[in-house]
Structure 1
Amino acid sequence: MFREYTEVEIVRELEGGHSGARVLLVRPIRVGGHRDAPVVAKLDERQSILYERRRYDLHVKGTLPATTARLLDAPAAPDKSWCAGLKYTFVGRLDDTEPVSLRELALRDPQKLGGLIHTLFDEFGPSWWLQRHPYRFGVWREYEHVLPPSLVVEALPDGELGATGHELAPLGAWSRDNEVLPGEIVALNGFAVQKLDVAKDILYLAAGAQPEAINRASKVEVRGLGLNQQTLFRGETIDRVVGRVVSTRDDLLRRSLQALEPNFDLRAGLIPSGQDGVPDLPNPLFAITALLERQVNGYLSVIHGDLHLGNVLVGPRGDAWLIDFAWTREGHTLFDWAMLEASLLVEVVARLAPPGWEGAWGIVKMLHQLYRGEDRVLQERHHAGLALHAVKAVHDIVRASLMASEHWTEYYVALSLLALRLMDWKSESLDARRLAFLLSALALSLVRSTPHDTQSRSDQSWLEVPTDIDLRGQGPGQGPTPSA
């Protein structure tokens, strides 16, 4: 990555990454001690780095603003190495100072966040989020992949399915309808390799290898295949794997909630609030299937796909740069903004609240007021109140990006599911993950309080857009959409 330099100074590791990759801010040093401008180096598993470069070339390369971070060089990916690297070079007004992540800046000065979020939208919006097209889709198509695997399977050496086993294919309703149970035998047919962990002998499978989110649906974790005795590659299709189900998605989510040490009955359908003005909230773990089976009318555009605070860097003059394009693709426009709001709340606001469930509920009370349009909460001068100005900035962008004006169900469905993803961010504190769970519950309550179809006939151009259900035809799992 730096073969033309004599030395590389690692300035610091950038916080906020949750994929397992290492992201470093470094300064290359030439012969004679000349220090070049800092760059961002990302180190990850070889196939992941090569995959990210392909995504950059496909979705990003020709759409970036003049002042940004770019991948100017080919990945450093030695043939016999498990590891590879990418180098993000800053183009524009960097001067001789070092950028910081939006997360670091938020913890120093939360009042600046709102303006920087608007700057980010203004810089990237015209080529990304504003290049949008009407899009009607099943929620599972865009959001199932943010949840834990549908199944965890232990491979069976004899490969025998038996008379009572299940034949499973990608994109089937089985991944959402909870019909496959622990202890049952399944045959996985035609799944694609998403990731391998040879050391732990775990193979991660999903529907396909292309960048769209639907190809990461139908996730299955397979253990005990003996990966150290065979060669598999990311994107490769596996003809058939037979195994016994060890856990389901419901099991994994319940364990994640149990790890939060809940002070309520996690088996109950309602979570007691105890906050004046905030109703008891629905337990989102009982609404996963209904949320995934909903139909949503929104917009399709190029999205970053992982827009958390650690992937936004801020320069000395307030320039906003995006890094890490591993999941950039065409997708639901509001995915990025729901992800950014959840990241703001979990990575910043949660740190400013009192500890324990009581502190998380205090933030939920403020959010409940903000979501109802009660802006007086923004006038509170404590740090958490100041940080909520950034949430208001996100909502300003969301309001301009909704398919139907003021029809927020589209957004709250996304927020509820993405918040559950953050509940599993082990790099965050226990209290931060508690807030993620309650955020999911709060968003779900707002989904349930809004009728499904409130648009006028003049607003229904989206009805002419083919949906994923239309494209699949009359397959398993068709029928009335359950209510979330």
Structure 2
Amino acid sequence: PAAPTNSPTAAPTTPTPTASAVVPLVEGRQVELEWPDRLRMGESDVIRLALVPTKTGYIARAEFPDHALQTREVPVPRPDGYELFAVARLDGVGFDLAPTDDQERFVPEGAEVAWRWTLSPRKPGQQRLSVQMRLRWVPAAGAAGSTRESQAYARGLDVQVSSFLGLSPTQAALAGVVGMLLGFGLLLTATTSHGSKRDNRPSPANMQQSMQTAEPNPALPIETPGEMQLTDEESDLLRGLFRSYARVVIQNEFFSGYSGARTFLIQPIRPDGSADALTIVKMGLRETVRLEFENYETFVKDRLPPVTARIQRPPVTLAEHKQPGARAALQYTFIAKPGQPPVSLRQVLLQNPDPAYLLQLFETFGPSWWMQRHPYTFRLGLEYDRLLPPHFILEPIPGERSGKLLDETNNPTGLALTVGEVVTLQPFHQADLRAGGRSCSLTGIPGGGQPALRLRWLNAAPPSRPAAARVSAARMDLLYDWTANFDRFGLPDPLSCLQVALGETITGTRSVIHGDLNLENVLVGPGGLVWLIDFAQTGEGHPLFDFAHLESELIAHVLSAQTGSPRAYLDLLQRGSDPLLTALHQITGRCLFDPAHPREYQLALYLACLGALKYQNIDGLAKHCLYLTAAELGKKMFP
């Protein structure tokens, strides 16, 4: 038989390479569109469009609770060799819109991009807007190819615009004229009955409702630690506040910021020898303490979470102390474990500069305060001028009244006075005795988008009638005197741009703010629990105000001490690597009107740093670091 043979097999061949299209990466994103579905004539509001990555999860949240919110999934191709941009535009004939043209944003992988427009209605009724977004792929540097573009999103919006009482603009104007005439008649009646004096401050009767009078128990012993000293008035306030107890033990005193108030941790002891819960007592000028209590009742009591320190009862003052400068006491609940008293955030960060404390502060109080925002357009000086030194310091002089007339309606922006000039000062309705009891702060009336005139009067008694005064210092003179010996290390003079910055118009937001978020008003208790005290300045304001002030505090009290020299601090600042500042800037990014434009916060921080130069309990190194921060910001903002 024939020998078997193996069937030949085809030799393997190497396939010829064929060109294949490169499959681009597709990034999952959501489009968020947020808008007001109702507006009134004369109001303005904001429309926000965002392109949000969804790789790490996604929760849709409106920035403003009363806004409508729509989301849509949009796949975003990212071909190799191209950079991605997104172009958005808003149109609407029934509105004044800003900005009005195409708005292009670079779209980094994994990062959110957003657009915001302000709108003001021109006429009432149902109005229509249209918003669209296009994706634009541009060849990267050195790569071949051409620009491509594709429509990614388009949507029409209906906004119901109402006018006064549902009237047409003509009818509303006519009603306004009639109302003005009626109001003028009522004004004449009121003027005849009550005179022309205007005072927006609470009446003595209203003040009395939020202030209790206490009779001191002269037999109550007060035990103080170490060499702590109390004034007779402070001792009497404690003896009135705890008059039914057998004794009072002061365990600790907290540093109380810059107001001249004193804050104590106190253990009250009952007649049977048992100890009541620890409590915190703050003592300060009576008017300031009263205001703190009223702000607490308005902005804190029913709005912030229970971890906030709670005021236990209305403040207490002494019946026999009626003169200006009298003090009052306020009692807070104390959140701690036995043997573990709270410490200020300053003390904690000096020992352990963990940014988690800052993030916890925002996560605890942000949802109820800083993130409850509304659109707000303002001149920067209107919100931030109060951080700076007074516009002028005046000393009373004997003799006849002469020179320029100063009153509470003066616009400080156009007020030019020189040191040594003699002026006539009219009485101010808002006159507050300063800590130390030797001078007064006089505050005028803001108007026309400008801040109030602020003066320091070098006398404990404010003028009750027109008085002659001499200008002993002006704001810019003070700032230049305080910084004359500071090395700028080649940076520009930050003071040269101050007036320009104060005049800038900011498109931002408004919310409830603490108003004095210094490191001593944030306490840290057991388990890292963070809570707030001191609500004397709490009210409506620019949310970035709090964090600009807090960052200036971090620079003055923590970072300056850690770095040890102005040059070392500037190196740290320019590297941008400090964990505390990084965490704080994450927070401020969430509070910006437009996260793509940090200038809103840079301006706030610039003014907060310059304003902190006025504090006498900040050392020279801290002030130098604050000055360098303002100079570095000035270099970025005013090239």
TM bin, normalised by shorter chain, reads: 0.7 to 0.9
Give the helix-richer structure, 1 or 2. Answer: 1
- What residue identity is the alignment partner of 1:110? P
Deviation digits for residues 402-453 of structure 1 (CA, Å, limit 9, x no counterpart): 001221111111111111222232222221121111122122222225xxxx
State the Cα distance separating 1:221 from its structure 2 match: 1.2
Question: Structure 1 CA distance, aligned partners of 2:290 and 2:505?
Answer: 34
Deviation digits for residues 12-42 of structure 1 (CA, Å, limit 9, x no counterpart): 2113522111112222222343333322211
Picking from 205, 211, 219, the partner of 2:442 is: 205
What is the DSSP-based 3-state SS (H/G/I as helix, E as strand, rest coil) of the residue aligned with 1:44? strand
Picking from 57, 67, 86, the partner of 2:307 is: 67
Question: Structure 1 CA distance, aligned partners of 2:375 and 2:552?
Answer: 25
Deviation digits for residues 34-57 of structure 1 (CA, Å, limit 9, x no counterpart): 333322211112222122212222
Picking from 295, 299, 310, the partner of 2:520 is: 310
Determine if the alignment matches structure 1 residue 192 to structure 2 residue 439.
no
Question: Structure 2 CA distance, aligned partners of 1:415 and 1:96?
Answer: 38
Q: How many residues align?
A: 394
> Which residue pairs with 2:405 in the alignment?
167
Question: Structure 1 CA distance, aligned partners of 2:635 and 2:333?
Answer: 43
> Which residue pairs with 1:417 in the alignment?
607
> Which residue pairs with 2:320 in the alignment?
80
- What residue identity is the alignment partner of 1:86? L
1:300–1:332 Cα contact (<8 Å) kept: yes
> Which residue pairs with 2:350 in the alignment?
107
2:257–2:520 Cα contact (<8 Å) kept: yes
- What residue identity is the alignment partner of 2:288? S
State the Cα distance separating 1:238 from its structure 2 match: 5.8
Determine if the alignment matches structure 1 residue 90 to structure 2 residue 334.
yes
What is the DSSP-based 3-state SS (H/G/I as helix, E as strand, rest coil) of the residue aligned with 1:423? helix
What is the DSSP-based 3-state SS (H/G/I as helix, E as strand, rest coil) of the residue aligned with 1:148? coil
Question: Structure 2 CA distance, aligned partners of 1:194 and 1:360?
Answer: 38
445 and 36 in structure 1: CA distance in 2 versus 1, 3 angstrom threshold? farther
> Which residue pairs with 1:133 in the alignment?
374
4 and 170 in structure 1: CA distance in 2 versus 1, 3 angstrom threshold? same
1:37–1:96 Cα contact (<8 Å) kept: no
- What residue identity is the alignment partner of 2:348? L
Give me the TM-score of the superposition, normalised by structure 2: 0.58
State the Cα distance separating 1:193 from its structure 2 match: 2.9
Determine if the alignment matches structure 1 residue 220 to structure 2 residue 455.
yes
> Which residue pairs with 2:537 in the alignment?
327
Superposition pairs of residues 30-429 of structure 1, within 5 angstroms: 30-81=270-321, 82-90=326-334, 94=337, 97-111=340-354, 114-161=355-402, 165-170=403-408, 172-173=410-411, 175-177=412-414, 179-189=416-426, 191-196=428-433, 201-208=438-445, 217-224=452-459, 227=461, 240-258=466-484, 261-262=485-486, 264=487, 271=488, 273=489, 280-354=490-564, 359-370=565-576, 377=577, 388-429=578-619
Question: Structure 1 CA distance, aligned partners of 2:299 and 2:425?
Answer: 31
- What residue identity is the alignment partner of 2:458? R
State the Cα distance separating 1:137 from its structure 2 match: 0.6
Superposition pairs of residues 458-473 of structure 1, within 5 angstroms: none
Instruction: Choose between structure 1 and 2 for higher RCO, CA contacts under 8 A separated by at least 6 residues.
Output: 1
- What residue identity is the alignment partner of 1:99? P
Question: Structure 1 CA distance, aligned partners of 2:455 and 2:444?
Answer: 9
2:267–2:277 Cα contact (<8 Å) kept: yes
State the Cα distance separating 1:123 from its structure 2 match: 1.4
Gaps of 5+ in 2: 1-240
Question: Structure 2 CA distance, aligned partners of 1:34 and 1:71?
Answer: 23
State the Cα distance separating 1:4 from its structure 2 match: 3.4
18 and 195 in structure 1: CA distance in 2 versus 1, 3 angstrom threshold? same
Give the strand-richer structure, 1 or 2. Answer: 2
95 and 120 in structure 1: CA distance in 2 versus 1, 3 angstrom threshold? farther
Question: Structure 2 CA distance, aligned partners of 1:352 and 1:124?
Answer: 28
199 and 96 in structure 1: CA distance in 2 versus 1, 3 angstrom threshold? closer
Question: Structure 1 CA distance, aligned partners of 2:457 and 2:586?
Answer: 42
State the Cα distance separating 1:324 from its structure 2 match: 0.7
What is the DSSP-based 3-state SS (H/G/I as helix, E as strand, rest coil) of the residue aligned with 1:436? helix
State the Cα distance separating 1:138 from its structure 2 match: 0.7
96 and 368 in structure 1: CA distance in 2 versus 1, 3 angstrom threshold? same
> Which residue pairs with 1:20 in the alignment?
260
Question: Structure 2 CA distance, aligned partners of 1:430 and 1:335?
Answer: 24
State the Cα distance separating 1:397 from its structure 2 match: 0.8
2:442–2:454 Cα contact (<8 Å) kept: yes
State the Cα distance separating 1:171 from its structure 2 match: 5.6
Question: Structure 2 CA distance, aligned partners of 1:185 and 1:50?
Answer: 36
- What residue identity is the alignment partner of 1:219? R
- What residue identity is the alignment partner of 1:221? R
What is the DSSP-based 3-state SS (H/G/I as helix, E as strand, rest coil) of the residue aligned with 1:4? coil
Determine if the alignment matches structure 1 residue 29 to structure 2 residue 269.
yes
2:393–2:473 Cα contact (<8 Å) kept: yes
177 and 365 in structure 1: CA distance in 2 versus 1, 3 angstrom threshold? farther
Deviation digits for residues 156-207 of structure 1 (CA, Å, limit 9, x no counterpart): 444522xxx323343644x235622122233344633342259765222012
Question: Structure 2 CA distance, aligned partners of 1:198 and 1:10?
Answer: 23
150 and 309 in structure 1: CA distance in 2 versus 1, 3 angstrom threshold? same
198 and 367 in structure 1: CA distance in 2 versus 1, 3 angstrom threshold? closer
State the identity %: 34
54 and 191 in structure 1: CA distance in 2 versus 1, 3 angstrom threshold? same
> Which residue pairs with 1:434 in the alignment?
624
Question: Structure 1 CA distance, aligned partners of 2:611 and 2:244?
Answer: 41
Gaps of 5+ in 1: 265-270, 274-279, 371-376, 378-387, 450-484
295 and 159 in structure 1: CA distance in 2 versus 1, 3 angstrom threshold? farther
Deviation digits for residues 364-398 of structure 1 (CA, Å, limit 9, x no counterpart): 2222221xxxxxx3xxxxxxxxxx31211111110
What is the DSSP-based 3-state SS (H/G/I as helix, E as strand, rest coil) of the residue aligned with 2:331? strand
Once superposed, what is the RMSD of the aligned Cα atoms? 2.6
1:151–1:219 Cα contact (<8 Å) kept: yes
Question: Structure 2 CA distance, aligned partners of 1:98 and 1:198?
Answer: 28
2:410–2:444 Cα contact (<8 Å) kept: no
2:512–2:541 Cα contact (<8 Å) kept: yes
